A and B are shown apart, each in its own frame.
Chain A
Amino acid sequence: LAKTTQPISMDSYEGQEVNITCSHNNIATNDYITWYQQFPSQGPRFIIQGYKTKVTNEVASLFIPADRKSSTLSLPRVSLSDTAVYYCLVADSGYSTLTFGKGTMLLVSP
């Protein structure tokens, strides 16, 4: 299984760009990388998913280098409401192999 490692916590200020990196050295060829956001007392919410290179949607970007041993979630211009725990997930499309990171607690201050 691809073990994932993320920073335990990060601090930022409103309006800044935040980059959270997840290491997954043993990622398999069939694995995708997905990032989730979780607020207290709620289930995780899908943010973005990618396989390689760069993916962008309306809320975030995901950068994956050629060796795919890490991935970086980029949140542009964070706001207070982005304070949450962010999880990196490595899994194949059939979820036969699935590993969540321990999560990164992002605190955004005014």
Chain B
Amino acid sequence: KAGVTQTPRYLIKTRGQQVTLSCSPISGHRSVSWYQQTPGQGLQFLFEYFSETQRNKGNFPGRFSGRQFSNSRSEMNVSTLELGDSALYLCASSIGGEQFFGPGTRLTVL
């Protein structure tokens, strides 16, 4: 089976712009979670989607949003980018209790 894929792998944006990241889960996985990873804060949970519905949400501002499509693919959007949004954004799909992570999208905000 193909693993979790994320596009793009690298992205450079400027403050105030918005960005959309994409995640394709492992075939058959209906749960997709998003995480932000930074050197200072480590891995922080953003939100989780299951069958096109946001099931859980972490403690992030409303600028961070997401959605899931009927084929379980998911997108994450960050609006009005800030310098502090520079991070590795990880997507994970799961079935049962085990999460499988993608390689991440490295977002740099200038």
Which A residues have a C-beta under 8 Å from some C-beta of B?
32, 34, 36, 41-46, 49, 87, 93-96, 98, 100-103
Contacts and interface: CB of A to CB of B under 8 A. Distances in A.
B23 to A, nearest CB: 11
B56 A44 contact: no
A45 B101 contact: yes
Contacts of A43: 4, 90, 92, 101-104
Nearest to B59: A1
Closest 3 pairs between A and B when the two form their complex, measured CB to CB? A43-B101, A100-B43, A102-B42
B42 A100 contact: yes
A87 B58 CA distance: 18
Given A42-B104, A43-B104, 10 more contacts: A34-B97, A43-B101, A44-B92, A87-B42, A94-B55, A95-B31, A95-B55, A96-B55, A100-B42, A102-B42
A93 B44 CA distance: 17
A93 B97 CA distance: 6
Interface of B: 4, 31, 33, 35, 42-45, 48, 55-56, 58, 90, 92, 97-104
19 contacts: A32-B97, A41-B103, A42-B101, A42-B104, A43-B4, A43-B90, A43-B101, A44-B90, A44-B99, A44-B101, A46-B98, A46-B100, A87-B43, A95-B48, A95-B55, A98-B45, A98-B56, A100-B42, A100-B44
Contacts of B90: 43-44
A100 B101 contact: no
Nearest to A99: B45
A39 to B, nearest CB: 10
A41 B42 CA distance: 14
A59 to B, nearest CB: 14
A95 B48 CA distance: 8
Contacts of A45: 101
B56 A96 contact: yes
B47 to A, nearest CB: 10
B97 to A, nearest CB: 6
B68 to A, nearest CB: 14
